[in-house]
Structure 1
Amino acid sequence: MSQPVGQIRAAVDDFADYAALVLGRSPNTVKGYVSDLGTLTGYADTFDAFTLPTLRAWLADALRAGRSRATLARRTAAARAFSTWAYRQGYIEQDVAARLKAPKVNRPLPNVVRAERATELVEADTADDAHPAEHLRDRAMLELLYATGMRVGELTGLNIADVDLGRGLARVTGKGNKQRVVPFGSEATIALSEWLEFGRAEIAKVDDAMFVGTRGGRIDQRQVRRVVERAGQRAGVADISPHTLRHTAATHMLEGGADLRVVQEMLGHSSLQTTQIYTHVSAQRLKNVYDRAHPRA
């Protein structure tokens, strides 16, 4: 019996719900899945046509069209996740995408700020005309981002109850709603204490959020990015973002002698391979110093 046209297109909506609710994928990841699988329906719109050769042709055409390797890797991940779901749902007799290989992606080395410039950045004034409480908030956010390497979404999701100032620990909810505990040092403790004691009550209209925006609600990621960018401008650091501070924290930890697995735990990486990119950064920085300093370089 032939299968109805549009079968996969309809199934993608159910898969999106599964990815969000069961797998715990972020809204951006789910949106990416739906977009990528939408392009697949031009090749296979029924599960009878959902075969490994079809999937390979789909990726090959994308490669010929000039799509980046990162895009191909993302599409491969979407197809694999969808295939596993479809197999478990009984739509297909075998997980056909299990043997679909993603192209290797050459990860660019992350941008890292030197330690002295990072200090200037977190101590920089972020706005001349802002409410005094916002200056305290911005300093606390910058200190915490650099101290912990947490993601911007993890920072905005922090509640007051998640932060233990006495022990210098923060409970962070990361990707897939996985929680971890990250340490922070004395400078971040001071900045957070001043924000909570002298600043937060001046602008906050919610009880639980650690950081609030100009209107008093929980601060959003766009506001945090603007704060980091302004601090970078004041400190003379170009192309700065919250993720740059994450890269910088990880690299400085490794350069200070931290074990790679400790940094992995701090960043919330599920794979040690993801964390290993920072060892390449440290090695490159060492080589740059060597080239400048050694007489036989």
Structure 2
Amino acid sequence: MDLARALGEYLDYLAVERGSSPNTVAAYRRDLTRYLDWLAGEKIVEPTDVTRADVERHLGALSEVGLSPASLERAASAIKGFHRFMVLEGVCDELPTADMPLPAKPSRLPDVLSREQAASLLDQPFPQTPAGLRDRAVLEVLYGCGLRASELCGLDRRAVLLDEELLRVFGKGSKERLVPILGTAAASLRAYLEEGRGALVGRMPTPAVFLNVHGGRLSRQSVHAICEKYGRVAGIKGLHPHTLRHSFATHLLEGGADLRAVQELLGHADISTTQLYTHLDRSHIRRVYLAAHPRAHLGE
């Protein structure tokens, strides 16, 4: 079996057996197609001919052309997974990527809104139109439930359990989690479903919660545009959906939420990912210390 055929089987494995999302499969397809094209340029087409030095030279070439650290890490992860798959499937015996570390990715604190900025964004006047009701619900749910843009776009009507104050969310790897929806997020979503969504439904019924003006499922690009549009009105330049997710997590932690609970709400497999949100300012940490430590006020 040559590398091209092995790639096809690996992508099928990711989609069918691993249940990877279409976006993940598409990203791996791009990374690995580029990898195989590079190997072909080096006259390498058989899995048994690939060496660790070849893999490292390819990653070095990607770094030289300016690939971002995050993209470089993803490419390396895709290559390692591909070679591990070929060994497990008996395509080859040697694993050229054995013990090969992933490229170091510099930690970057996520952008976060202040509580005042979040209030300005969500309390601004929204058009009392079907699209306006939808847009407010989009922003409220992103901030109030901490969803990814892809998770929000993937919401179906049966996943909205407003009477139980819950959303059934399918995250990365199609993993399901239950997320509370309360307060203004629940109110705005209910208003959209009862007063706005029906006017957006097209000739072909769809189970999607959030619809575009043509009656189809709202895209991630449209969610980005909604965030930028209303962010500009509130004086927040370049507002991204993930900023609202980051703000959701940070404001929960600042309010005293348990890190493990926030991990579950966000759908993080590893708590180290959630710990990125613990970048609380020193004044907040001082207030928590003063309120919690039994000897903080002695000697004053």
Aligned residue runs from structure 1 range 184-263, under 5 A: 184-205=181-202, 206-263=205-262
Quote the Cα distance in structure 2 between the aligned partners of 1:195 and 1:66: 44
Q: Is the 8 A contact 2:254 2:284 kept in 1?
A: no
TM-score by length of 2: 0.85
The 1:284–1:155 alpha-carbon spacing in structure 2 relative to 1, beyond 3 Å, is farther
Distance (Å, rounded) in 2 between the aligned partners of 1:124 and 1:218: 25
What corresponds to 2:15 in structure 1?
20
Equivalences for residues 57-136 of structure 1 within 5 A: 57-125=57-125, 132-136=129-133
Alpha-carbon deviation of 1:70?
Answer: 2.3
In structure 1, list runs of 5 or more residues that go unmatched.
290-297
The separation in 1 between residues aligned to 2:192 and 2:226, in whole angstroms, is: 15
2:140, 2:188 within 8 Å by CA — same for their partners in 1?
Answer: yes
Q: Secondary structure at the match of 2:75?
A: helix
Q: Is the 8 A contact 1:125 1:135 kept in 2?
A: no
Q: Distance in 1 between matches of 2:109 and 2:77?
A: 22
Mapped to 1, the partners of 2:34 and 2:162 lie a distance apart of 49
Cα 1:225–1:39 shift into 2, 3 Å: closer
Mapped to 2, the partners of 1:215 and 1:123 lie a distance apart of 27
Hey, what does 2:153 align to over in structure 1?
156
Alpha-carbon contact 1:125-1:231 (below 8 Å) kept: no
State yes or no: 1:35 paired with 2:26: no
1:140 is displaced (CA, Å) by 1.3
Once the 2 structures are TM-superposed, how far is the Cα of residue 29 of structure 1 from its aligned partner? 2.5
| Matches of 2:62 and 2:215, distance apart in 1 | 46
Distance 1:190 1:71 in 2: 39
Which residue identity is paired with 1:145?
A: L
Match of 1:10 among 5, 13, 17: 5
Q: In 1, distance between residues paired with 2:201 and 2:132?
A: 14
> Is the CA contact (8 Å cut-off) linking 1:158 and 1:209 kept in structure 2?
yes
**Given the superposition, is the C-alpha separation of residues 40 and 212 from structure 1 closer, same or farther in structure 2, using an over 3 Å criterion?**
closer
* Count of residue pairs brought into register by the alignment: 280
Inter-CA distance 36–243: structure 2 relative to 1 (3 Å threshold): same
In structure 2, the gaps of 5 or more residues are 288-300
C-alpha distance in 2, partners of 1:61/1:225? 32
1:269 aligns with 2:268: yes
Tell me if the contact between 2:206 and 2:217 (Cα under 8 Å) persists in the aligned partners.
no
SS in 1 for 2:280: helix
Moved more, 247-256 or 85-94: 85-94
CA deviation vs aligned residue, 1:126-182 (integer Å, no higher than 9, x gap): 5x6xx7111111111111110011011111111122112122110001111111000
CA separation of 1:90 and 1:168: change in aligned 2, threshold 3 A: same
TM-score normalised by the chain length of structure 1: 0.86
Deviations along 1:47-101, one digit per CA (max 9) or x if unpaired, are 1222323323332343455443323311210111101210121111144323111
Aligned to 2:138: 141
2:112 is matched by which residue type in structure 1?
V
Runs of 4+ deviating beyond 6 Å = none
1:201–1:285 CA distance, 2 compared to 1 (3 A): farther
Q: Aligned pair in 2 of structure 1 residues 239, 47: CA closer, same or farther (>3 Å)? A: same
CA 1:198–1:38 in 2, change beyond 3 Å: closer, same or farther? closer
